[in-house]
Structure 1
Amino acid sequence: MDSSKNLEDKYYIKEVDTDGKSIYCYHDLMGELLIPTHKHDKAQMLYSEGGIVYVTTETKTYFLPARHFIWIPRGIAHSINTSSENVMMRNLYFPIDSNEDPFYDKEGIYPVNDLLLQIMLFTNRWNGNLEKGSRNFVIANGIKALLPEVCLTDLPLALPSPKDIRLNKIIVHLDENLTETILFSDLAERFGFSERSLSRLFKKDLGMSFIQYFTIRRILKAIELLLEKKLSVNEVARAVGYNSVPTFSNTFLKILGARPSDYINGVEILKK
């Protein structure tokens, strides 16, 4: 069977942009582990429940944790992969005019506050095109209007993809050793760099320092483990290389805006 034909049949290819003035709504189980690279004429607000979601654009891989959404501007090519076909995907696709708020032109991940959460859950019964002027269109457009007002800071839940093959090998090594204490001097020596040259490579290729990259990678792994609910917060801290639980908790708070235990408790509301 022609796989390209199968892709053309998917709702996100054939239906989202059929009416350029409508807001398109789609809520359903993922149904597949990978949605291949595609793009829309409309901007996408993606909110998920029940698993781990990665969204990859040309420059970055975003980690979408529970009770957060990702905003994908119009025309941005992206793929989506998840840990399970049973992840619930909630999507709103918005037409964007050229003179609208700059927020709509920037990709990013944002927490869903209680107000947004209640409105998003209210859209559970909707699917397909919401025609301009209809009651549901007005409500959905209200969500769009709220975003620049309540989403003031996007969270650093993304890691750039390395372009230098030497750095790619280092990234693989870091991923395989998240539980270890890795000294930058040892890392540089292991891969044949001076500390200065490796530091420059990180900043030039990834736009961030080694410490920034490794810290975010550890916290992303911690979120995965917390969502699996097989380990306690203390055990998760040790599993991602933190000997001090307070240090882990403070770092988690700085990146995600909530402490590990509070984050898990906040996720529970999605089941109600």
Structure 2
Amino acid sequence: MEKEYVNKYYMTEVDAFEDSIYCHHAVMGDSYVAEHMHKKGQFLYTEGGVVFLKTAKKSYFLPARHYIWIPAGVKHSIHPSSSNVVMRNLYFPKYETDTNFYEKINIYPVNDLLIELIMFTNRWNGNIFPVEEPKYSIAKAFKLILPELSHSELPLALPYPQHTKLKDIIKYLEANISENVNFKTLAQNFDISERTLARFFQKELNMSFIQYYTILRMLTALKLLLDEKLSVNEVALKVGYSSLPTFSNTFNKVIGVRPSDYVKNQHTLL
């Protein structure tokens, strides 16, 4: 049975001791966790639903079988799809051996070895101090092994637009996600040239329209698969794909696994 989630534990316990590794496994219980930051780097793995993690610049989508690394000092808020979502957090101090890997916020798939390690940490809650051997060395090794197990960072994040017109365009795309929106038609609907629209996306979001639109559709597909338990075929239609093979291939290219396999591989730790 998971511990009841305590919303304010971030502010009081995680950074209370500079050299400790802090573990927390618990059911969310709340609709969201307000913006905050830590002096320690955070490993976050979730189960039981979709989680959005928001920073000042981007919205990150954390699906099942993936984890997110949040560097120390990064302000973020956490928004689960359900109060029943389980969060598995490990917070690590900085070490002299830390590489650039730990300076970037990214999402990575979780392989079977990392699943086993997460299961092992499930027995811990609270601070682990350097004097607590071998527990501390095992927990520290968890952090040190992450770069070796995390070669495929996934583009499961969308930047926020600042320009008013682009905000309206993004809202339109989200509201009409079941349609295969044509770039030329989109420009005409908003009374701007295709060249201007392309420049909007590249300048404001640092990606092309097709890159943004594809990720938006795949993130929506993930949410439908996880939260609404729809079939792969139903999901494909709801995100504007009339061809199931095309949807499956695109999903595989972005997420790294085919949607049918993704549904089978959802993993809840006990």
TM-score range, shorter chain: over 0.9
User: Displaced runs of 4+ in structure 1, greater than 6 A?
Assistant: none
Which residue does the alignment assign to 1:249? 248
- Which structure 2 residues correspond to residues 108-119 of structure 1 after superposition, within 5 A? 108-119=106-117
Cα 1:47–1:230 shift into 2, 3 Å: closer
Query: How far apart, in 2, do the equivalents of 1:110 and 1:64 lie?
Result: 9
Cα distance in 2 between the residues matched to 1:235 and 1:100: 44
Structure 1 residue 99: Cα displacement? 5.3
- Residue 97 of structure 1: how far off its partner (Å): 3.3
1:223 partner letter: L
Superposed, which structure 2 residues align to 1:78-157 within 5 Å?
78-97=76-95, 100-134=98-132, 135-157=134-156
Task: Give the Cα–Cα distance (whole angstroms) in 1 for the partners of residues 232 and 83 of structure 2.
Answer: 26
Aligned residue identity for 2:196:
S
Q: Determine the structure 2 residue equivalent to 1:31.
A: 29
Q: Report the Cα offset of residue 229 of structure 1.
A: 5.1
State the identity %. 53
Match in the other structure for 1:188: 187
Aligned partner of residue 155 in structure 2, secondary structure: coil
1:75 pairs with 73, 81, 98, which one?
73
Q: Give the 3-state SS of the residue equivalent to 1:125 in structure 2.
A: coil
- Within 5 Å, give how 1:202-217 maps onto structure 2: 202-217=201-216
Q: Amino acid of the residue matched to residue 176 of structure 1?
A: A
Cα distance in 2 for partners of 1:264, 1:47 equals: 17
Q: 1:139: how far off? A: 1.6
Which structure 1 segments of 5+ residues have no match?
Answer: 1-7
- Work out the CA distance in 2 between the residues paired with 1:85 and 1:9: 12
- Aligned residue type for 1:255: V
Change (3 A) 1:195 1:113: same
In the alignment, which residue of structure 2 is the partner of 1:232? Answer: 231
RMSD: 1.4
1:43 aligns with 41
What do residues 121-144 of structure 1 show as CA deviations (whole Å, max 9, x unaligned)? 111121110111422222221111
1:168 is paired with a residue whose SS is: helix
Per-residue deviation, 1:230: 3.5
SS at match of 2:268: helix
Q: Is the 8 A contact 2:221 2:235 kept in 1?
A: yes
| Cα-to-partner distance string for 1:17-58 (whole Å, 9 max, x where unaligned) | 011101000010011111111000000000000011000111
Using structure 2 for the length normalisation, give the TM-score. 0.94
Query: CA–CA distance in 2 between the matches of 1:93 and 1:255?
Result: 28
C-alpha contact 2:68 2:108 (8 A) present in aligned 1: yes
Structure 1 stretch 130-139 or stretch 64-73: which is displaced more?
130-139
Q: Which one-letter code corresponds to 1:51 in the other structure? A: G
Spell out the pairing of 1:151-166 with structure 2 (5 A cutoff).
Answer: 151-166=150-165
Once residues 141 and 50 of structure 2 are traced to their aligned partners in structure 1, the CA distance between those partners, rounded to angstroms, is 28
Deviation per residue, 1:231-267 (Å, 9 max, x gap): 2111111111001100111111111110001111111
Amino acid aligned to 1:28: A
SS class of match (1:63): strand
Residue in structure 2 matched with residue 221 of structure 1 by the alignment: 220
Ranges in structure 2 where 5+ consecutive residues have no aligned partner = 1-5
Give the superposition deviation at 1:116. 0.5
Distance 2:239 2:94 in 1: 40
Question: Normalization by structure 1: what TM-score?
Answer: 0.94
Q: Distance in 1 between matches of 2:255 and 2:135?
A: 32
How many equivalent pairs are there? Answer: 264
* Partner SS state of residue 251, structure 1: helix
